[in-house]
C-alpha cells in the first residue's frame, strides 16, 4: 500500500527523529487492516508474565502457545504484536517479516514486592529479532519511578540511534496515589505527558475515569463536564504534546464486547490513535476474537 497523507502527517510530527525511527513507525502505521488510516490496534501479550499463565490463558488454552498470538495478530490484520523476550523468541523465526513486533524490555509479576519492573531484554535483542520497536513500562508515582526513567533514557537513546521506535506503557501507581486515582483523568493525562517528555514515540495509557485525584489539579478540571469518555480521551491526547505523539489506550480486564466497541468509538471520537487490546482478544475463542477485532477495525475506519 502506498504511504497515505494521514500517516505521512503523523510521521512529520516526529521531527527530530532519524529516518530509521520514522520507517519503523511507518511499518506499524502502514501494516494490517488499519494500515494507512493513522489508527492502530496492537496485540500485547505480557499477561502470562505479569499475572501468570493460568490466569491469562486457561480460559482459551491454545493461547498457552506463543505461536497462537503471532497468528492471531497476523490473521486479524493488526498493526503490531508486543511481548517479552521469551514469547518473541518462540515465534520470531516462523513469523519473520509477517507482522511488526515490539519487544517489551521490562516486566513485573503478581508476586513483586515493589512497584518496579525487571529488565529482561535489550536493544540488541530487538534488532536481532527484527522488531520495529522496544516497549517499556514506567510507574509514575512509584518509589522506583526515577530508576525506571533513567533505564528507559539509556535504552531509548540506544534504540533511537539504531532506528527503533520506543513505546512506553505509562501506568501510574504507588506513592500517594489512591487505587481509584490510578485511572483518574488528571493522573492519566499527567502520565501520558511524562511519557512524551521522556521521549516516547508511542504512549500507552489506560482509558481514564472521570475521577480527579490530585487536589492541586481539581480547580483546573472543575466546571467542565468529564462524563463523556471521548472528551477524556481528547484531554489525554492534548496532554501528549497536543496530538504530536501517538497515544493508544487499553481497556484493562476482559469485559463484554459492547463495552469494548464503545471504548473504541470513544477513542476514535476523542482523537485517540487506537487500542492495545490483550485479554479482550486472546481470552476469547479465536473466531470470536477475530470477529471482534474486525469490528473494532471497522469502528476505527468510521464504518460503524
CA–CA separation, 254 and 259 (whole Å): 10
Residue 17 touches a second copy, criterion: CB under 8 A: yes
Residue 262 touches a second copy, criterion: CB under 8 A: no
Which range, of 56-64, 248-256, 260-268, 278-286, touches a second copy by CB under 8 A? 56-64
- Site residues for a second copy, 35-54, by CB under 8 A, read 48-49, 51-54
Residue 242 touches a second copy, criterion: CB under 8 A: yes
Q: Which is nearer to a second copy, 90 or 230 (CB)?
A: 90
CA–CA separation, 167 and 247 (whole Å): 10
Q: Which is nearer to a second copy, 140 or 251 (CB)?
A: 140
| CA nearest neighbour of 14 among 160, 130, 126 | 160
- Site residues for a second copy, 196-215, by CB under 8 A, read 196-200, 214
Distance of CA 272 to the CA centre of its chain: 12
Contact pick of 43, 85, 155, 233 for a second copy (by CB under 8 A): 85
Residue 252 touches a second copy, criterion: CB under 8 A: no
Which range, of 8-16, 254-262, 267-275, 286-294, touches a second copy by CB under 8 A? 8-16
Give 89-154 as a DSSP string: HTTTTTTTTTS-EEEE-EE--TT-SSS--EE---HHHHHHTT-SEEEEEE-TTSTTHHHHHHHHHH
DSSP 8-state secondary structure symbol assigned to residue 204: E
Q: Which is nearer to a second copy, 128 or 304 (CB)?
A: 128
- Site residues for a second copy, 89-118, by CB under 8 A, read 89-98, 107, 109-114, 116-118
Cβ 69 vs Cβ 282: under 8 Å = yes
Q: Which is nearer to a second copy, 124 or 304 (CB)?
A: 124
Provide the 3-class DSSP secondary structure of residue 222: coil
Residue 74 touches a second copy, criterion: CB under 8 A: yes
Contact pick of 193, 232, 268, 279 for a second copy (by CB under 8 A): 193
Residue 5 touches a second copy, criterion: CB under 8 A: no
Q: How far is the CB of 264 from a second copy (least distance, A)?
A: 24
Draw the binding track, 153-192, toward a second copy (x: CB under 8 A; -: no contact): x---x---xxx--------x-xxxx--------x--xx--
Residue 136 touches a second copy, criterion: CB under 8 A: no
Q: Which is nearer to a second copy, 115 or 268 (CB)?
A: 115
Residue 281 touches a second copy, criterion: CB under 8 A: no
Q: How far is the CB of 267 from a second copy (least distance, A)?
A: 19
| CA nearest neighbour of 274 among 8, 28, 11 | 28
Instruction: Give the list of residues 6+ apart from residue 163 with CB closer than 8 angstroms, or none.
Output: 18, 19, 20, 21, 23, 24
CA–CA separation, 106 and 126 (whole Å): 13
Residue 271 touches a second copy, criterion: CB under 8 A: no
Number of residues that bind a second copy (CB under 8 A): 110
DSSP 8-state secondary structure symbol assigned to residue 211: -
Cell of 236: 489525554
Q: Residue with C-alpha cell 493461547?
A: 63
Burial code of 92-119, b = ≥16 C-beta within 10 A, e = fewer?
Answer: beebeeebbbbbbbbbbeeeeeebbbee
Q: Of the residues 39, 104, 204, 206, which is catalytic?
A: 204
Active site annotation includes 153: no
Please identify every residue annotated as catalytic: 204
Amino acid at each position: 500500500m502506498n504511504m497515505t497523507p494521514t500517516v505521512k502527517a503523523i510521521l512529520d510530527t516526529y521531527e527530530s527523529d532519524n529516518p530509521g525511527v520514522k520507517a519503523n513507525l511507518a511499518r506499524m502505521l502502514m501494516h494490517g487492516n488499519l494500515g494507512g488510516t493513522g489508527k492502530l490496534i496492537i496485540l500485547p501479550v505480557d499477561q502470562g508474565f505479569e499475572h501468570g499463565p493460568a490466569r491469562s490463558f486457561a480460559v482459551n488454552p491454545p493461547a498457552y502457545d506463543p505461536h497462537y498470538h503471532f497468528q492471531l495478530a497476523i490473521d486479524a490484520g493488526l498493526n503490531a504484536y508486543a511481548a517479552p523476550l521469551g514469547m518473541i523468541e518462540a515465534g520470531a523465526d516462523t513469523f519473520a517479516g509477517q507482522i511488526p513486533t515490539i519487544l517489551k524490555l521490562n516486566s513485573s509479576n503478581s508476586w513483586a514486592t515493589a512497584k518496579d519492573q525487571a529488565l529482561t531484554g535489550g536493544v540488541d535483542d530487538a534488532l536481532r529479532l527484527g522488531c520495529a520497536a522496544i516497549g517499556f513500562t514506567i510507574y509514575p508515582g512509584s518509589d522506583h519511578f526515577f530508576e525506571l526513567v533513567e533505564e528507559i533514557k539509556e535504552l531509548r537513546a540506544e534504540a533511537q540511534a539504531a532506528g527503533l521506535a520506543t513505546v512506553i506503557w505509562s501506568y501510574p501507581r504507588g506513592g500517594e496515589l489512591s487505587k481509584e486515582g490510578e485511572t483518574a483523568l488528571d493522573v492519566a493525562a499527567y502520565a501520558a505527558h511524562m511519557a512524551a517528555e521522556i521521549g516516547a514515540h508511542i504512549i500507552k495509557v489506560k482509558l481514564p475515569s472521570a475521577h480527579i485525584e490530585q487536589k492541586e489539579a481539581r480547580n483546573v478540571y472543575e466546571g467542565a463536564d468529564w462524563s463523556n469518555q471521548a472528551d477524556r480521551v481528547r484531554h489525554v491526547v492534548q496532554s501528549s504534546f497536543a496530538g504530536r505523539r501517538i497515544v493508544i489506550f487499553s481497556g484493562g480486564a476482559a469485559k463484554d464486547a459492547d463495552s469494548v466497541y464503545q471504548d473504541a468509538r470513544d477513542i476514535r471520537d476523542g482523537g485517540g490513535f487506537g487500542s492495545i487490546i490483550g485479554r479482550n482478544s486472546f481470552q476469547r475463542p479465536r473466531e470470536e476474537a477475530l470477529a471482534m477485532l474486525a469490528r473494532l477495525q471497522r469502528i476505527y475506519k468510521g464504518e460503524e
